Chains A and B, each alone.
Chain A
Amino acid sequence: MNSFVSLCRRLRGQAPRAAFALLALGIGSAAMAATQAGAVPGVPDTMQQRVAACASCHGAHGEGSANDVAIPRLAGKPAGYLLQQLEYFQSGQRRHAPMEYVVRQLSPAYLRDIAAYFAQQDVPYRRQPVPAVSAETLRRGEQLVLRGDSTRGVPSCVSCHGDRLTGVEPMMPGLMGLSYDYLTTQLVSWRTRQRAAEGPYCMGVVANRMRESDIAAVSAWLAGQEPPADMHPVPASAHTEPLPGWCVMGKSGAGQ
């Protein structure tokens, strides 16, 4: 419990700093653009042009892949979350060879630029294909997402990822607009530590308390939702949900 509270405090404490960093970044980028602009005729001096390597899988604006449902949308995710994932791919805390390779040569400053670029993209969501699952499975999915399962010590998704499931600034990713395949893959990756986090290993603990059928149920329900009109992550200050009394990082969950 305490560690979760301190994590949340830390995350909230970061919001003004993150905003300042983004502002500073904007100024820095503008200064840089001024020194480089026009140096190369015919090649746009833009982040979009620079990150062509990302776009070929994640889409020109990070909208996700139309052909491969396992490749996630990046557009509009919180910048802090995107940066953390890029850093995790660099350090090997999150494993996916093509991502580890593509971020290998990048500096911390450039990773911040790239995370900020995709966080700023505002492009429409596309509906994700949903596997045919039973009504019972969808009910179980809805229960876990909205209310959790206290008998298994599984908190609801909304308690951390925001009431609208669109994420919380600066670090909590949204769960809307992601495909069934991507969501199930991530939950399994948390279980097997193909994904890990430096802070409390909340998602690893939660994913390990879920049954395999729960992973399918949650993913199917989430992927089947019509994304809300406003997909932006909510600001940290708006997320006033009291911490769940059964926080997974309490005595029973710590160190798992």
Chain B
Amino acid sequence: MKWWRRGGWVPALLVVAGLGWWYVASGGQPAAAPAQRAADAAALRDPALIARGEYLATLGDCAACHTAQGGQRYAGGRSLGTPFGEVPAPNITPDPDTGIGAWSFDDFWRALHEGKGRQGELLYPVFSYTSFTKVSRDDALAIFAYLKSLPPVQRPDAELGLDFPYNVRSSLVAWRALYFKPGEFKPDPAKSPAWNRGAYLVQGLGHCNECHTTRDSLGGIEPDRHLTGGQIPQLGWYAPDLSMQAGGGLDGWRAQDIVDLLKTGQSAKGTAFGPMADVVRLSTQHMSDADLQAVATYLQSLPPRAQPASAPFSPAASHERGGQLYAQRCADCHGKDGRGVAGVYPPLDGNTSVTEPTGINAIRSVLLGGFAPATAGNPQPYSMPPFAQSLSDADVAAVVGYIRQSWSNRAAAVQPADVGNYRHTPVD
């Protein structure tokens, strides 16, 4: 990925290292008092707390990373790819030797809130503590109680697969100084309870920003890019901008469309696929209606985005070829007018996943096809055929260019070489 230039880390690391040491030395939260610890321990066995923790762990989608393909839930082992190497997600079942069986709530709170391991070691931010730091202490306790209630699974964690210098944990001092500010979510009294709940879920437990933003060359997120969309490192998908106002990725969406997509996997405006299909299937379909509405309320408040200067638009040379392919292969389901079929096949006209800046999502969808996520609200989803076997790079580029430049869509065309880059099938 060309935007990910590794060369920049050396001077940046040197410049901020000193600042980082100062920051860590002067920061930190006081540990809980002994009385608090005793109260926490007693509370952990409360079935109501455990049930709430299960719901919250589902909202946080902890299982998505902390479960290997075909593995036991929460027993870790999924290898998480980053531009700096592979990080295996650890076992978070309460096994005393290989999981979190020996952890106290203070240990768990420090991991979630401060990004530090049980021995005080700095955790790699592939564990999204940059978001989880906003989770309240009450919610963290509930999640911890739930994890402690799981059957323990003995499964030792795999070795880190990070490259030098990222395998040296102290390199994180500098990173944290630049990109991490611990602190619980502070409600805004000027806003509605629904807005505050939505902001808390989106910014904190839901950790939406970890994908839906652009990361810089050190893997950090700049605050002013909150939910403005970005390419997901290593996965090869684009997580779109989430603003519902003018110029935003979800311009034209209604609150109900957000609720529908998160609850069922599809809405009148689009269908969840790729990593977002995982998120819907494992996490958001289980959200309460009130929480779904709260998320929509918060997203509605994201500001309008700057409109790109309107350049003179002319379709790609392959537009005619793309149109022929579209008529043969796509129009039966998505319609000649690109409007799709409500509730079954997503519209392509005005679909942010079609027009997102990179074209990656449209390329991947054409190559991979696949099913919308099976959810309680859509138990037998319809599917799209994969075209990787039958279309050349040039043909995929032509048809993707066509849908990005037809109807009201005015996105850049894609090149056959772009298609070649995404031909591999993503698996765990």
The interface of chain A, by Cβ under 8 A from chain B, is 32, 39-40, 42-43, 47, 49-57, 68, 90-93, 97-98, 100-102, 104-107, 109-110, 113
Please judge, given known A-B contacts A102-B371, A113-B380, whether A92 and B343 are in contact too, CB under 8 Å. no
Residues of A within 8 A of B384 (CB): 52-53
CA distance A161 to B371 in the complex (A): 32
Please judge, given known A-B contacts A53-B386, A107-B374, whether A97 and B425 are in contact too, CB under 8 Å. yes
Measured CB to CB, the closest approach of chain A to B416, in angstroms, equals: 21
Measured CB to CB, the closest approach of chain A to B324, in angstroms, equals: 19
Q: Are A40 and B389 in contact (CB under 8 A)?
A: no
The main secondary structure of chain B at its interface with chain A is loop
Instruction: For B68, give the chain A residue with the smallest CB separation.
Output: A92
Residues of B within 8 A of A100 (CB): 69, 425, 427
Q: Does B252 contact A (CB under 8 A)?
A: no
Q: For A43, give its contact among B70, B278, B341 (CB under 8 Å).
A: B341
Q: Are A49 and B341 in contact (CB under 8 A)?
A: no
Residues of B within 8 A of A47 (CB): 380
Please judge, given known A-B contacts A56-B389, A93-B70, whether A101 and B341 are in contact too, CB under 8 Å. no
CB pairs A–B below 8 angstroms (6 shown): A53-B370, A57-B386, A57-B389, A92-B70, A98-B425, A105-B381
Q: For A56, give its contact among B277, B390, B425 (CB under 8 Å).
A: B390
Q: Are A98 and B69 in contact (CB under 8 A)?
A: no
Q: Are A105 and B368 in contact (CB under 8 A)?
A: no
Measured CB to CB, the closest approach of chain B to A34, in angstroms, equals: 13
Please judge, given known A-B contacts A43-B341, A56-B389, A90-B70, whether A105 and B370 are in contact too, CB under 8 Å. yes
Please judge, given known A-B contacts A40-B341, A93-B70, whether A56 and B386 are in contact too, CB under 8 Å. yes
Residues of B within 8 A of A52 (CB): 333, 382-385
Measured CB to CB, the closest approach of chain B to A207, in angstroms, equals: 21
CA distance A52 to B374 in the complex (A): 15
Please judge, given known A-B contacts A56-B390, A102-B371, whether A42 and B70 are in contact too, CB under 8 Å. no
Q: Are B386 and A110 in contact (CB under 8 A)?
A: no
Interface size class of B (residues with CB under 8 A): 35 or more
Known: A101-B368, A110-B374. 10 other contacts (CB 8 A): A40-B344, A43-B333, A52-B384, A53-B384, A92-B69, A97-B425, A98-B388, A100-B69, A106-B374, A107-B374
CA distance A92 to B70 in the complex (A): 6
Q: Are A105 and B371 in contact (CB under 8 A)?
A: yes
Instruction: For B272, give the chain A residue with the smallest CB separation.
Output: A105
CA distance A96 to B69 in the complex (A): 13
CA distance A90 to B370 in the complex (A): 14
Residues of A within 8 A of B424 (CB): 97
CA distance A105 to B390 in the complex (A): 23
Measured CB to CB, the closest approach of chain A to B188, in angstroms, equals: 36
CA distance A256 to B270 in the complex (A): 49
Instruction: For B383, give the chain A residue with the smallest CB separation.
Output: A53
Measured CB to CB, the closest approach of chain A to B411, in angstroms, equals: 25
Q: For A110, give its contact among B333, B369, B380 (CB under 8 Å).
A: B380
Residues of B within 8 A of A92 (CB): 69-70, 427-428
Q: For A107, give its contact among B69, B341, B379 (CB under 8 Å).
A: B379
Q: Are A109 and B278 in contact (CB under 8 A)?
A: no
Those of B355-389 within 8 Å (CB) of chain A: 368-375, 379-389
Residues of A within 8 A of B385 (CB): 52-53, 55-56
Q: Are B369 and A97 in contact (CB under 8 A)?
A: no
Residues of A within 8 A of B345 (CB): 43
CA distance A106 to B375 in the complex (A): 8
Residues of B within 8 A of A54 (CB): 383
Measured CB to CB, the closest approach of chain B to A48, in angstroms, equals: 11
Measured CB to CB, the closest approach of chain B to A76, in angstroms, equals: 22
Q: Does B317 contact A (CB under 8 A)?
A: no
Residues of B within 8 A of A43 (CB): 333, 341, 344-345, 382
Those of B68-90 within 8 Å (CB) of chain A: 69-70
CA distance A113 to B388 in the complex (A): 26
Q: Does B426 contact A (CB under 8 A)?
A: yes
Q: For B69, give its contact among A42, A91, A106 (CB under 8 Å).
A: A91
Measured CB to CB, the closest approach of chain B to A102, in angstroms, equals: 5
Residues of B within 8 A of A32 (CB): 379-380
Residues of B within 8 A of A55 (CB): 385
Measured CB to CB, the closest approach of chain A to B43, in angstroms, equals: 34
Measured CB to CB, the closest approach of chain B to A127, in angstroms, equals: 23
Measured CB to CB, the closest approach of chain B to A50, in angstroms, equals: 5
CA distance A96 to B341 in the complex (A): 31
Residues of A within 8 A of B373 (CB): 105
Instruction: For B335, give the chain A residue with the smallest CB separation.
Output: A42
CA distance A39 to B341 in the complex (A): 11
Q: For B278, give its contact among A50, A104, A106 (CB under 8 Å).
A: A104
* B393-428 near A? 1/0 per residue, CB < 8 Å: 000000000000000000000000000000011111
CA distance A68 to B389 in the complex (A): 10
- Which of A43, A90, A105 has the largest count of B CB atoms less than 10 A from its CB? A105
Please judge, given known A-B contacts A40-B344, A101-B368, whether A50 and B379 are in contact too, CB under 8 Å. no
Measured CB to CB, the closest approach of chain A to B387, in angstroms, equals: 8
Measured CB to CB, the closest approach of chain A to B42, in angstroms, equals: 37
- Which of B278, B389, B424 has the largest count of A CB atoms less than 10 A from its CB? B389
CA distance A2 to B69 in the complex (A): 31
CA distance A52 to B370 in the complex (A): 9
Residues of A within 8 A of B380 (CB): 32, 47, 50, 110, 113
CA distance A32 to B345 in the complex (A): 19
Instruction: For A93, give the chain B residue with the smallest CB separation.
Output: B70
Q: Does B342 contact A (CB under 8 A)?
A: yes
Q: Are B386 and A105 in contact (CB under 8 A)?
A: no
Residues of B within 8 A of A97 (CB): 424-425, 427
Q: Does B281 contact A (CB under 8 A)?
A: yes
CA distance A32 to B386 in the complex (A): 27
Residues of B within 8 A of A90 (CB): 70
Instruction: For A49, give the chain B residue with the smallest CB separation.
Output: B382
Q: For B371, give its contact among A49, A57, A106 (CB under 8 Å).
A: A106
Those of B287-338 within 8 Å (CB) of chain A: 333
